[in-house]
Structure 1
Amino acid sequence: MENQVTLRFAVPDDAEAIRSIYEPYVLNTAVTSEYYVPTVEEFRARITRTLERYPYIVALKDGQIIGYIYASPLSPRHAYSWAAETSIYIRQNVRRIGAGSRLYKALSAICMKQHVLNLYARIAFADSEDEFLVNASARFHQAIGFSKAAEFHRVFHKFGRWYNAIWMEKLLGGHPEGTMPEVIPFPQLHLTDEDLKAY
């Protein structure tokens, strides 16, 4: 079923479609800690800002955007340059068709080309799953090679309840001693949508 899904790099004009995917997660779940849905303009700015440094990829089925993934800095400090945080969202009514794993495969490969060695996902986690949060994201990340690195207990409050957050990590490559090559900003890789067909 994965061949039904195609990938391409996001552009700022994807903001409205991406917002429509994210909106129900904000309004109806504790998957994201945001209380308010960002505007289309804010999404446009986020896409633009991300693409200055990292990949932002969308998945499509039948010509419609059904999911997206992007990387962002784990920390503004230079010593953390070789680690990045990831975010992924799939339209809720089209999950389980392979889009998530393909998005991660593409993002991971491009991050490696940039010299990023570690990926981190910050994931909402419920001690007891409820109508606002099931731990599907943690299970998905574990299935694609992430492992739990840390847990913060009752760290955010939404819908009148407290939830945990876990950090999961995936090491993409070795960690040699000595001088590391600088991380290459995404635009300098000169990748096109054709390059995503490999994933």
Structure 2
Amino acid sequence: MKSVVSADLPSIAEIYAGYVRGSTATFELDPPDLAEWTRRCTAVTDAGLPFLVAELDGRVAGYAYCSPWKPRPAYRHTAENSIYLAPWATGRGVGGVLLDALLDSCREVGLREVIAVIADPERNPASPALHRRRGFADIGVLRNVGYKHDRWLDTLLLQKSLAG
């Protein structure tokens, strides 16, 4: 596990593009290019939030990061997490290792609450299961809030408290 470096961004962009094009795990419709990934990475790290990369066999196997939950200052101790794995890395424990390291990093930077927003949880059951195994609690479901691949989609909200 390591902090992201710019050399990781092409692999991150490739991993995420697969989810954008072929799944409902994200509501983005067009894959961000490398310039956008550079901007996003800089925004995360400039905010003092973790952006981690897992490697297996010398390749980027997945990544996880936190972004501010909301822009208002009162939310500064709450973040939303994101985690994505390369297709070849699923089922190898990478997601759990990434999420554990991300949560540890969140504690280190003083976050108290982490929110997972999971798109289309019925078709993406691995993500809710991963988060629940790490102590995230179901908070609610937002119904029909996204439209992708000719379907209306829900999002599942989960929350983990890192305080005391």
TM-score (normalised: structure 1): 0.78
The reply to whether residue 157 of structure 1 matches residue 147 of structure 2 is: yes
Q: 1:109 aligns with which of 93, 104, 112?
A: 104
After superposition, the C-alpha distances for 1:95-122 in whole angstroms (9 at most, x for unaligned) are 1211111111111112111111111010
After superposition, the C-alpha distances for 1:14-63 in whole angstroms (9 at most, x for unaligned) are 21110111111000100000000010111111112211121100000011
Correspondence for 1:81: 76
Q: CA–CA distance in 1 between the matches of 2:39 and 2:6?
A: 7
Structure 2 unaligned spans of 5+: none
Query: How do 1:1-199 residues align onto structure 2 when only pairs under 5 Å count?
Result: 7-53=1-47, 54-126=49-121, 129=122, 133-174=123-164
AA at the equivalent of 2:62: G
1:13 is displaced (CA, Å) by 2.6
AA at the equivalent of 2:129: R
1:135 is displaced (CA, Å) by 2.2
Greater C-alpha Rg: 1
TM-score (normalised: structure 2): 0.94
Is contact 1:73–1:84 with CA below 8 Å preserved after alignment?
yes
Residues 1:55 and 1:134: Cα distance change in structure 2 (over 3 Å): closer
- Among the aligned pairs, what percent are the same residue? 33
After superposition, the C-alpha distances for 1:124-180 in whole angstroms (9 at most, x for unaligned) are 135xx4xxx332211221122111112110110101001101111111123xxxxxx
Q: CA–CA distance in 1 between the matches of 2:89 and 2:107?
A: 28
Q: Which range moves more in the overlay, 44-53 or 16-25?
A: 44-53
AA at the equivalent of 1:124: A
Q: CA–CA distance in 1 between the matches of 2:107 and 2:139?
A: 20
The alignment of Structure 1 onto Structure 2 pairs a total of residues equal to 163
Structure 1 unaligned spans of 5+: 1-6, 175-199
Larger relative contact order (Cα-Cα within 8 Å, sequence gap ≥ 6): 1
